[in-house]
Every structure is written in C-alpha cells, then in structure tokens.
Structure 1
Amino acid sequence: MADNAQVHPEQGKRKSSMDNNESERSRSVVIKFPKDQILREAPSMENHHHGRKNPTRRRSKFCCCFAWFFGSVLSIVVMLLIIAGILYLVFTPRLPNFSVERLETRSFNFSRDSGLSSEFYIAVLDKNRNSKIGIYYKEDNSLGFSYSGVELCSGSFPGFYQGHGNVTLLETSLIGSNVPFSEELYLGVVSEENEKRVPLEISINMPVRIKAGLLKLPKMTVRVRCSIIVSGLSANQESQIESLNCKVKKNVF
C-alpha cells in the first residue's frame, strides 16, 4: 500500500520551493558593521582638492605683478626721456668757454733740500654761451699748475652765479710750498726758459648747478684742461702766453 501511495503535484512544488530557498540562504553571507564605522558618503575629489593651494594660480599672480611693475617703471623712464628731450630742444645747453688771459710768476724758488716753492697769479676768462641758461659755480672748486706731471701749486676761485650770455673774469693766486722737485726737472725749466717755451698744464674742476628757467638741475662738474706754453717763470714777471689749448668736459656724477 505504501509503495502505491501517490503524492499530490501541488505538495511537490511547495516542497521543492522550500528546498531552493534554504539552499540560497545557506550560500549568502551577511556581514554586520558597527554604526560608527559605516561611511555614509564617500569624499568627493572636488572637496579634496579645494583645501589645497593651486601653485599654477600663485605663479600666475606673481607674473602679473611683475609685469605690472616692469611696465610702470618702463613708462616712467620713457616719460623722463621725453621730458629731457623736450628741455634739450628748448634750451639747447652748451658748455662754457674758458681761456687764460694772464699769468704772472710772483715767486719761483728751488732748493735741493726743501724742493720747490712757488706762487702764481692767474686770470681766466669764463664765457657762458647759453642764451637761456644760468650757471651757479660752487665754492668747492680746485685749480692747479703742473710741470712734467708734477703739481707745482694749487688754488681755487670764489663761488658765483653767471647769467645767460655773460662773460666773467676769474682771478686768483696759486701757492705751492716744499713741493718734491728734482734738480733735473729744475734744470729742464731753466733750459726751456732760455728758449722762451716752458710747457705747463692747468687743471680746473668746477662743480656747477644749471638753472634753466625755473628749473635747477642736480650738481655736475665742469672739467677744464689747458695745455699752455709760456715764455718763462722768472719771479715778479708776467709770462707771455705763446700757445694755449683748453678743452672743457662735464661729469654728471
């Protein structure tokens, strides 16, 4: 009887379904984490990079600042050059002329022991060739006589203002005491004096300030170098000027 028992098809289906569910549950694994370890939201890459400084943007700002600074300096330099060019065209500055008008030897004493002591009087003519520029000559100027590279004496001119187109006669004395001077050089002076051709070098350094209209320019130095040949250096006697060549230069600094 038992072997002949039949199973209802619906019951068979239910049984196979239950068996399949149990087999699926046996294959799946459930892992549980504590709540504090669960990541609710993954950090985005945009938020991650937002906290960092961008080196490219920083270099770009530096380049912009440098370009602005360089452009400003270049603009100022160009403007100054334009202003200087306009002033030059308006005033047409020219260096003054210098010439030696008179030279007198007041003393010229040589000793093998004490060297050379001398005193000269000189008159220099200074002509301002500018029609729109005045010149302030400062007191800290210098004047010197030299023979064969040895300075014999020195002096200076008083400070003064020279108006445009003016001519000024500058007079002063030059004094030298116990200047090292060899007997060979002294004999050379005597020999050249016999020929009435004694060569001397005159150096003049004149700090000046230029006045162009209401504008006063910074101080510069006018340098005068004169090669002069005189008839002699006898004491208490005016020396005849046989030859004279003066060159004038300026030094801004």
Structure 2
Amino acid sequence: MEGPRRPPSATAPESDDDKPDDPPSVWHRPTSSLPALPSLDPPSHHWRNHSLNLSPLPTTSSPSLPPPDSIPELETYVVQVPRDQVYWTPPPEHAKYVEKRRKNPEKNKKKGCSKRLLWFFIILVIFGFILGAIILILHFAFNPTLPVFAVERLTVKPSNFEVTLRAENPTSNMGVRYMMKKNGVVSLTYKNKSLGGGTFPGLSQAASGSDKVNVKLNGSTKNAVVQPRGSKLPLVMMLKMELNAEYEAGPVKRNKEVVVTCDLKVKGLLDAKKVEIVSENCESEFKN
C-alpha cells in the first residue's frame, strides 16, 4: 500500500539551480515566520568610497549608533579642465596702438630716428664725461714739477766760458728730457752786456733724478766793464737758458717750456787761474 504523499517540494531532488550558494529565483520564504535578527546588512548603494566622509566603516553593529540610512547622501563631482588650452585676449590699448602705427607709418619712422639720435647723443655725452674725468685724473696724477738747477763751477778761458750745472728732477712719477728750445738762447751777461752764448746739450733724467751737465759758451771778458783791480766787491752776472722739457710716464706725455735764470756773484774774473763763486741762485719757470 502506498503511504501518504508528501509535498512535491520535499521529495523532489535538488538541481544545480537550487544550491544553497545561489539565491532562489522564484520561491521565497516568508520573512514573517523568522525571528528578528540584528541588522548586519552592508551600507546601502549610495555609500560611496569617494564620499567626503572618511570615517571607517563599522565592522559590527552597535545599538547606540543610528542606522546607515540616517546619514545624508553626499555627492562628488569631477570637473576636468584641459591644460593645453590657454585663452588670452590682448587689452584694447594694444589694438589702438597697432591701428595708429598702421595709419601713420612715416610718423613712426621719424619717431624711431629721433629716438636713435637721442640715444646717440646721450651715449656721446656719457663718453665725453668719462674721457674728461680720465684726463682730469691724469692731469692731477701726472703733473710735472719745476726742475731745480744750481751752478757748481765757472771756468773762464780766453775764448769761452764753461759752466757746470747740477740738474734735479723733483717729479716722482715722470722722467724728463731737456733739449734746446727752437730759437732759444743760452747766454751769460754782465750789466746787460753779453759775455758769451752757446747751446744746451741734451740731458735725460729719471723720476726724482739728479745729474751734472756742462754748458760751453763762446765769448770773452774784453768787452765787459769790470771793477778795477784790487776791488773786493764781487761781480754780478746772469746765466739764462730757454729749454724744452719733455716729461713722460708710460703713455702719458707732457711738453713744457722751461726758462732758467741764475744770478751769480764771483771773484777773480780777470784771473783765469782762480774764479770763486761767492753765491748763486737759480729760478725755473714754466711758460706753458
């Protein structure tokens, strides 16, 4: 005898579609018959990873926390701006300037020429100022000093005179060379009457140098009015030299005209064997 029938759902074999891993597709168990369980559902679909709420997700439910549905939904917007596109609009003043240049090309050329001339004039003035400053510095740095002459000996012969001089160059940073000035004179006079004349030999001196030089003068004492024999008063004579002095210090050169005047007081002029210089005084002067 056949026993009582069971419901078809109880006796039917389980198929691959009805495995416990997959949720049922048609048949659902009523939830009213199940006891109430604490909610362990994951957050709803609107809980996004890119939300501004960075608090960690709760791992376990807590009765003190409100359900996730009470948190307001936050939305995130992403705006993409291309970086390779730059939009730039020139100011209207530029357009006006370009328009003016198009309308008046000749005027613009004249303005350009006037600006060039102005800059050229400014550069010329600056260059002249620098050049003047350099010349002024060189003038004060390399300024020749008057030479110093002294008569050391006077020798009288029947037909000439020989004067030994000591020349000193007080300029400390420039050498000097003395030469006979063109149309210059070297003369020895007594009471405004010429006793002899000649030329000055060339002389070169270093800075702060001192040298001796011999000057020969052709002449005699026959035409001179001298004091009578036996007089103890000295004879007063004057030696005058007009020289050209060339000062030099590297590329810097200075030319000076020098006039040297020496007042001499001597004894024994008529006796060629003995001429004594009582006193001498030489003064120098630049003529330019």
TM-score by length of 1: 0.57
Which structure has more RCO (C-alpha within 8 Å, separation ≥ 6)?
Answer: 1
Counterpart Cα distance in 2 of 1:228 and 1:98 = 13
User: Given the superposition, is the C-alpha separation of residues 177 and 191 from structure 1 closer, same or farther in structure 2, using an over 3 Å criterion?
Assistant: closer
Counterpart Cα distance in 1 of 2:131 and 2:231 = 58
Match of 1:134 among 154, 168, 175: 175
Counterpart Cα distance in 2 of 1:201 and 1:156 = 16
CA shift, 1:174, in A, is 0.8
Counterpart Cα distance in 2 of 1:193 and 1:156 = 34
Q: Give the secondary-structure state (helix, strand or coil) at the position aligned to 2:207.
A: coil
CA shift, 1:165, in A, is 1.4
Q: Which amino acid aligns with 2:287?
A: N
Q: Give the secondary-structure state (helix, strand or coil) at the position aligned to 1:86.
A: helix
- Confirm or deny: 8 A CA contact 1:99 1:124 kept in the other structure: yes
Alignment of 1:1-253 (within 5 A): 82-107=133-158, 118-140=159-181, 142-176=185-219, 181=223, 186=225, 189-191=226-228, 194-217=231-254, 219-252=255-288
Runs of 5+ in structure 1 lacking a partner? 1-67, 108-117
CA shift, 1:243, in A, is 1.5
**Which of the pair is proportionally richer in strand?**
1
CA shift, 1:123, in A, is 0.2
Counterpart Cα distance in 2 of 1:199 and 1:105 = 15
Counterpart Cα distance in 1 of 2:179 and 2:200 = 9
Q: Which amino acid aligns with 2:283?
A: K
Counterpart Cα distance in 2 of 1:155 and 1:205 = 11
Runs of 5+ in structure 2 lacking a partner? 1-120
CA shift, 1:136, in A, is 1.7
Counterpart Cα distance in 1 of 2:253 and 2:143 = 15
CA shift, 1:197, in A, is 0.4
Count of residues in correspondence between the two structures:
168
CA shift, 1:160, in A, is 2.8
- Confirm or deny: 8 A CA contact 1:106 1:235 kept in the other structure: no
User: Given the superposition, is the C-alpha separation of residues 175 and 79 from structure 1 closer, same or farther in structure 2, using an over 3 Å criterion?
Assistant: farther
User: Given the superposition, is the C-alpha separation of residues 163 and 192 from structure 1 closer, same or farther in structure 2, using an over 3 Å criterion?
Assistant: farther
Counterpart Cα distance in 2 of 1:237 and 1:200 = 19
- Confirm or deny: 8 A CA contact 2:157 2:220 kept in the other structure: no
Partner of 2:112: none
Counterpart Cα distance in 2 of 1:242 and 1:81 = 50
Counterpart Cα distance in 2 of 1:222 and 1:241 = 24
Q: How big is each residue's C-alpha offset from its partner over 1:79-132, in whole Å with a ceiling of 9 and x where there is no partner?
A: 67644431233234211100001011112xxxxxxxxxx521110000011111
Larger Cα Rg: Structure 1 or Structure 2? 2
Q: Which amino acid aligns with 1:226?
A: C
Q: Give the secondary-structure state (helix, strand or coil) at the position aligned to 1:131.
A: coil
Q: Which amino acid aligns with 1:237?
A: K
Q: Give the secondary-structure state (helix, strand or coil) at the position aligned to 1:237.
A: coil
Q: Which amino acid aligns with 1:94?
A: T
User: Given the superposition, is the C-alpha separation of residues 81 and 251 from structure 1 closer, same or farther in structure 2, using an over 3 Å criterion?
Assistant: farther
Q: Give the secondary-structure state (helix, strand or coil) at the position aligned to 2:228.
A: helix
CA shift, 1:241, in A, is 1.2
Q: Give the secondary-structure state (helix, strand or coil) at the position aligned to 2:246.
A: strand
